[in-house]
């Protein structure tokens, strides 16, 4: 059986759209998917000069909550994330590693001055969770614009790409023993 994937909701209760997110991730990954709230103090990762949280520090803290050594853990956080070389990131993962983190902060329509739309948020979150988990399973960015592994530096690019791996990325995963 494939190692479990733990979706960890950080800094708050499990949202009402959790089941939709779990279903979206389960559509792509054969692994058992578990969702839960994880109490994680994000204060140490906050950088006042940027008014953002350092994604690498959030990920390091999250990894201490991984339930078992064979599993993957993906944290979902409502805060704005960055890494030093970029203004912001939608998420970060350890390439072929045990963990990843996704921020919903810039996936929300409200961030762009639009009315809230939970359906759009969930669709974007599914794509970014699958994308970051793809990295955790060893995939790099893909040149195909509609592949979920295509790099996204804007929310428009998140909206354009699909929520599934292209044939090339599936081949790479299968070469690693996936499915």
Domains in the chain with CATH codes? 5-140 (3.40.390.10)
- The catalytically annotated residue of 110, 128, 132, 174 is 132
Query: Is 123 an annotated catalytic residue?
Result: no
Yes or no: say if 4 and 34 are a contact pair by the CB < 8 Å rule: yes
State residue 12's pLDDT score: 78
Yes or no: say if 18 and 37 are a contact pair by the CB < 8 Å rule: no
Tokens 């006042």 locate to: 48
Number of C-beta neighbours around residue 164 at 10 A: 15
pTM equals 0.96
Mean pLDDT in order along the chain per 10 residues (179 residues):
89 88 95 92 96 98 93 96 97 96 97 96 98 97 96 96 96 85
Vertex 135, ends 81 and 66: CA angle to 5°?
75
């Amino acid at each position: 059986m494939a190692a479990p994937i733990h979706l960890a909701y950080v800094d708050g209760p499990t949202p009402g759209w959790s089941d939709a997110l779990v279903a979206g991730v389960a559509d792509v990954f054969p692994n058992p998917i578990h969702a839960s709230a994880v109490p994680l103090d994000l204060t140490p990762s906050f950088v006042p000069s940027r008014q953002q949280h350092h994604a690498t520090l959030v990920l390091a803290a999250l990894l201490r909550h991984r339930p078992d050594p064979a599993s993957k853990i993906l944290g979902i956080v409502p805060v704005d994330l960055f890494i030093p070389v970029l203004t912001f990131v939608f998420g970060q993962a350890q390439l072929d590693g045990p963990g990843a983190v996704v921020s919903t902060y810039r996936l929300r329509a409200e961030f762009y001055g639009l009315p809230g739309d939970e359906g759009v948020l969930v669709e974007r979150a599914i794509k970014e969770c699958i994308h970051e988990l793809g990295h955790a399973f060893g995939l790099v960015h893909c040149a195909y614009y509609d592949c979920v592994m295509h790099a996204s530096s804007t929310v428009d690019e998140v909206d354009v790409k699909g929520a599934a791996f292209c044939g090339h990325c599936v081949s790479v995963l299968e070469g690693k023993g996936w499915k």
